[in-house]
């Protein structure tokens, strides 16, 4: 007999909430689509707890995210599609399959070889799912991903088949080229659509630079957002201490305080 585990309690709680006769009216009405925003929100709250290095908060947010998995699995079970056990079994099999150097006899020499094998196995999985040859190596990168994350995944897919820069200098040169093309749209008073395209190309090239530098572009931008919020918040505090409020009339003072705060942090 299988030992009772805490996850069993969570599965039972969600089943009770969803019970059509004795459950919660709100939970009874939920669908995959209606709880999707909560699933995305919980994933980002996990990311925030990690960035803040808050272990107590991380424990709680991981629980909230796990609830979303159990909830989706429960809805699927009610529809006769799959249940939580199927979810666990599928991911366990996938992890074993994608790590033949750990669970099998394969020999992968370094991290790069592991990544390449991972992408090849994912491509094979996608082909098996479709039961037909994949039309493009870029096929299957979810449209709903944040734009920076999706850009990186698209670039990695292309890199697996050799479509990538060979040297960092080439990557830097591409960023500079795209920056100059953005500047040119201002010089020539280009149409708004062209400006959008050129800024998009610049951002895409910056993601490429981050990837070649071993930096996660999404995390880097999130960290930059946090730094901006923190520093600007300190600027506001300093201004108010001097009897001032943020505004164009004190722009020079805001710039001075910003540079001072930035220097102090460094």
Would you state the pLDDT for residue 232? 96
The answer to whether residue 37 scores a pLDDT higher than 70 is yes
Would you state the pLDDT for residue 82? 97
Average pLDDT (224-234) is: 94
Give the total number of structural domains in the chain: 2
Query: 136 in a domain, yes or no?
Result: no
Average pLDDT (204-229) is: 94
Q: For residues 265 and 232, is the Cβ–Cβ distance under 8 A? A: no
End position of a domain, from candidates 98, 124, 154: 98
Read out DSSP for the chain? -PPP-HHHHHHHHHHHHH-TTTS-HHHHH--HHHHHHHHHHHHHHHHHHHHTT-HHHHHHHHHHHHHHHHHHHHHHHHTTS--HHHHHHHHHHHHHHH-HHHHSS----SHHHHHHHHHHHHHHHHHHHHTS--S-TTTT--TTS-HHHHHHHHHHHHHHTT-S-SSHHHHHHHHHHHHHHHHHHHHTT--HHHHHHHHHHHHHHHHHHHHHTT--HHHHHHHHHHHHHHHHHHHHHHHHHTT--SSGGGHHHHHHHHHHHHHHH-
End position of a domain, from candidates 98, 126, 142: 98
CATH of the domain at 48: 1.10.287.1080
Query: 255 in a domain, yes or no?
Result: yes
Query: 83 in a domain, yes or no?
Result: yes
Q: What is the mean pLDDT of the chain?
A: 90
Query: 1 in a domain, yes or no?
Result: no
Average pLDDT (27-32) is: 96
Would you state the pLDDT for residue 111? 74
End position of a domain, from candidates 69, 98, 127: 98
Which pTM was predicted? 0.67
Q: Count Cα neighbours of 39 within 13 Å in the Cβ-side half-sphere.
A: 15
Query: 33 in a domain, yes or no?
Result: yes
Q: What tens digit of pLDDT does each residue of 148-186 get?
A: 999 999 999 899 889 999 999 999 999 999 999 999 999
How far out from the chain centre does Cα 230 lie?
22
Count CB atoms within 10 A of the CB of residue 263.
Answer: 8
Query: 147 in a domain, yes or no?
Result: no
Q: What tens digit of pLDDT does each residue of 79-126 get?
A: 999 999 999 999 999 888 888 888 877 777 777 777 777 777 777 776
Q: What tens digit of pLDDT does each residue of 119-152 get?
A: 777 777 766 666 555 568 888 788 888 899 999 9
Percent of the chain past pLDDT 90, that is, above it, reads 70
Percent of the chain past pLDDT 70, that is, above it, reads 95
- Print the domain residue range for 231: 219-265
Average pLDDT (63-87) is: 97
Query: 108 in a domain, yes or no?
Result: no
Query: 78 in a domain, yes or no?
Result: yes
């Amino acid at each position: 007999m299988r030992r009772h585990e805490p996850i069993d309690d969570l599965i039972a709680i969600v089943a009770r909430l969803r019970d059509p006769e004795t459950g919660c009216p709100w939970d009874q009405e939920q669908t995959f689509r209606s709880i999707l925003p909560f699933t995305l929100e919980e994933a980002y709250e996990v990311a925030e707890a990690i960035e803040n290095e808050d272990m107590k908060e991380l424990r709680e947010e991981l629980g909230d995210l796990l609830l979303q998995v159990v909830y989706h699995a429960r809805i699927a079970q009610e529809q006769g599609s799959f249940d939580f056990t199927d979810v666990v079994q599928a991911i366990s099999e996938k992890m074993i399959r994608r790590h033949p150097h750990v669970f099998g006899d394969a020999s992968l020499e370094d991290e790069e070889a592991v990544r390449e094998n991972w992408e090849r196995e994912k491509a094979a999985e996608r082909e098996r799912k479709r039961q037909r040859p994949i039309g493009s190596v870029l096929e299957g990168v979810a449209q709903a991903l944040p734009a920076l994350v999706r850009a990186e995944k698209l670039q990695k897919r292309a890199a697996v088949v050799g479509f990538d820069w060979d040297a960092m200098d080439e990557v830097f040169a591409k960023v500079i080229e795209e920056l100059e093309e953005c500047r040119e749209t201002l010089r020539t008073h280009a149409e708004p659509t062209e400006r959008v395209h050129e800024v998009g190309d610049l951002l895409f090239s910056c993601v490429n630079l981050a990837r070649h530098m071993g930096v996660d572009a999404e995390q880097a931008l999130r960290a930059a957002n946090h730094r901006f919020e923190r520093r600007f918040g300190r600027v506001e505090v300093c201004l108010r201490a001097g009897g001032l409020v943020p505004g164009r009339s004190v722009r020079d003072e805001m710039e001075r305080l910003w540079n001072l705060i930035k220097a102090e942090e460094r």
